[in-house]
Amino acid sequence: MSTISFSQNQPEKNEASKGYNSSHAWLINAGFGFSNHGVPIYIGGEYNGFHPDISVGGVFSYHNRWDNKHNNSAWTLSALGNYHFNRLLNLTSEWDLYAGANVGFYGYSHNATGFGGGIQIGGRWFITDVIGLNLQFGGGTVSGGQFGISIRL
């Protein structure tokens, strides 16, 4: 008795998980910023269901700064867009390298408000398929960068 078997080449684990999306269309980010105006906190979200290399979203940040004479605060509410380089650089879904731009509103405690924008470049390292660490440079009008966690939904 003889048997014939046909096998199909299975992709390696890393090949199957290439790209930014990794079957999660939403991403929530939260953490602390760094700037010369104090330590902002931020929370934001991104959606990449339109294209695997592009995400759009928004971010809110707030900070207080106390000195000897004044209590100053600032906030921003911005829309953002990012291009993710994972497919271009052939990276696994454990990593997410991106760059983009943002535009939005800001306000300061001394009644100054306005409209501004900025650019950002950053990266994420996902410890699990869902939870990662985020480091970003650049940004809007309140912070010069951000460090925090990212959660894929």
Give this prediction's pTM: 0.80
Residue 49 inside a domain? The answer is yes
CA 61, CA 108: separation in Å to the nearest integer?
12
Phi, psi torsion values for 86, nearest 5 degrees: -60, -50
pLDDT band at 112 (very low <50, low <70, confident <90, very high): confident
pLDDT band at 16 (very low <50, low <70, confident <90, very high): very low
Question: Which pLDDT score is estimated for 141?
Answer: 58
Question: Which pLDDT score is estimated for 17?
Answer: 45
Q: What is the CATH number of the domain that holds 45?
A: 2.40.160.20
Q: What is the mean pLDDT of residues 96-119?
A: 90
Residue 15 inside a domain? The answer is no
- Count of domains observed in the chain: 1
Phi, psi torsion values for 89, nearest 5 degrees: -95, 0
Question: Quick check: 20 pLDDT over 50?
Answer: yes
CA 22, CA 130: separation in Å to the nearest integer?
10
Residue 3 inside a domain? The answer is no
Residue 4 inside a domain? The answer is no
Query: Which is more confidently placed, 72 or 70?
Result: 72
140, 61 contact by CB (below 8 A): yes
Residue 40 inside a domain? The answer is yes
Boundaries of domain holding 118: 20-152
Residue 6 inside a domain? The answer is no
Residue 53 inside a domain? The answer is yes
pLDDT band at 9 (very low <50, low <70, confident <90, very high): very low
Residue 12 inside a domain? The answer is no
Q: What is the mean pLDDT of residues 41-64?
A: 94
